[in-house]
Amino acid sequence: MSLRKKKAEIDRLVSAFGREADKFYDITFSVFYVADSGPIENRKFISPNHTIMLWQYYGNIEGQRGVDRLCQDIKDSDFQWGVKGARLSAFAVIEGESCGLFCRMAKRAGSLFNDKESAVIKLHVLNEILQEKKEGNSKPTGAVNSNEMAIWLNYLLYYLSKVSPGKERMKKIEPDPYSLSLLALESLSDSQKIDKIDKSMSKVSQINFKVALSFPGEHRNYVSDIVEILKIRIGTDQVFYDYDYQSQLAVPNLDTLLQNIYRNNSELIVVFLCKEYSKKEWCGLEWRAVRDIIKAKEDERVMFVRFDDSKIDGVFSIDGYIDATRFSKSDVANFILERVQLVCDVTF
């Protein structure tokens, strides 16, 4: 159930956090960083307190040795504190009076978000980490905690970054966690939605995408959910989805730019086939690039997902596809990720 259908629950939480904020508890919310060599700073925590991992930056995974190291670190990890071997981990620390009550309320607030909305929050956090830590052409790897409380605290930092840019990077977060939660919930009560991740500012003509999606507008809502899942796993500027590059696509000769993206600058093209696909002008333009890939016997670069059995010129009964009516969106996204790993010879 989306936020739009949880207005009553949001308003109940507004009232609950408002009552506690009025009591002016001596309670703080801070972010504590731990590197692979140990804590970034030495500090004592006030009792009572609660610590929870928000995210981890594991580092670059290069070659089989890097994969083997990650597997061993996962095997040796105590997941209460995340994956062993991470180069940097961020922990939220709630300290002081009524710490336990706030943690219970934060977990309830985090449960407001469905899987898609939680994915948007995690994607924002992950993109921030990986963009900041990117080193050369190597692919950095990170993870975001899926616990409801961690989701809520990450959302509070995201909310703070929008209303007071820069404050989310402070070690001690102001205002206190009850008041900050109240402000964030009041904002959710007004809009019942999470803003999408900031659009890419990389030059689209110079990006080599791991995957590009070709689909008719009638199925945008479905495809956008797939995109969010892919971006969480693959990272920033690895998935070509037109809405992420709208300002750059508002140019003359867009047909040439798009055909170059689909034909030359994308490793895997996922085509969502349906009765609307063959009728759309822009789908037809993208389809020409796909057909040229097939003509060049680069079949492994093309993947079909079907919504129905409509006839599409150039697609035959012997061609394999994923049945979108049979599998969930998560399943379809995972199938795409499997193909990306095979085509690009990478590991996520």
Final residue of a domain: which of 166, 191, 216?
Answer: 191
What's the domain count of the chain? Answer: 2
Q: Judge if 150 and 69 occupy the same domain.
A: yes
Q: State the average pLDDT for the chain.
A: 86
Q: Judge if 237 and 187 occupy the same domain.
A: no
Q: Judge if 223 and 91 occupy the same domain.
A: no
Q: Judge if 175 and 208 occupy the same domain.
A: no
Domain extent for 290: 204-344
The CATH number for 252's domain is: 3.40.50.10140
Radius of gyration of the chain (CA): 23
Final residue of a domain: which of 141, 158, 191?
Answer: 191
pLDDT at residue 77, as a whole number? 59
What span, in angstroms and rounded, lies between the C-alpha atoms of 113 and 316? 41
- pLDDT category at 36 given cuts 50, 70, 90 is confident
Q: Judge if 292 and 315 occupy the same domain.
A: yes
- CA 344 to each of CA 161, 271, 306, 340, 348: distance values in angstroms, whole numbers, following the listed order: 34, 18, 23, 6, 11
User: Averaged over 163-189, what is the pLDDT?
Assistant: 84
Question: 36 versus 169: which is more confidently predicted?
Answer: 36
What span, in angstroms and rounded, lies between the C-alpha atoms of 144 and 122? 6
Domain assignment of residue 196, yes or no: no
What span, in angstroms and rounded, lies between the C-alpha atoms of 263 and 108? 47
Domain assignment of residue 327, yes or no: yes
Q: What are 51-61's pLDDT values in tens digits?
A: 999 998 887 76
Lowest average pLDDT, out of 76-90, 98-112, 220-234, goes to 76-90
Final residue of a domain: which of 191, 226, 259?
Answer: 191
Q: Judge if 87 and 226 occupy the same domain.
A: no
pLDDT at residue 171, as a whole number? 76
Q: Judge if 28 and 153 occupy the same domain.
A: yes
Q: Judge if 289 and 339 occupy the same domain.
A: yes
pLDDT at residue 127, as a whole number? 73
Q: Judge if 136 and 218 occupy the same domain.
A: no
Q: Judge if 81 and 37 occupy the same domain.
A: yes
What span, in angstroms and rounded, lies between the C-alpha atoms of 203 and 54? 31
Q: Judge if 187 and 281 occupy the same domain.
A: no
Domain assignment of residue 88, yes or no: yes
Q: Judge if 253 and 187 occupy the same domain.
A: no
Q: Name residue 271's beta-bridge partners.
A: 214, 304
What span, in angstroms and rounded, lies between the C-alpha atoms of 271 and 263? 13
pLDDT at residue 79, as a whole number? 59
Helix (H) or strand (E) holding 99: helix 99-110
- pLDDT category at 123 given cuts 50, 70, 90 is confident
- CA–CA–CA angle 287, 291, 293 (5° rounding): 115
pLDDT at residue 136, as a whole number? 52
What span, in angstroms and rounded, lies between the C-alpha atoms of 39 and 22? 34
Domain assignment of residue 324, yes or no: yes
What span, in angstroms and rounded, lies between the C-alpha atoms of 188 and 4? 9
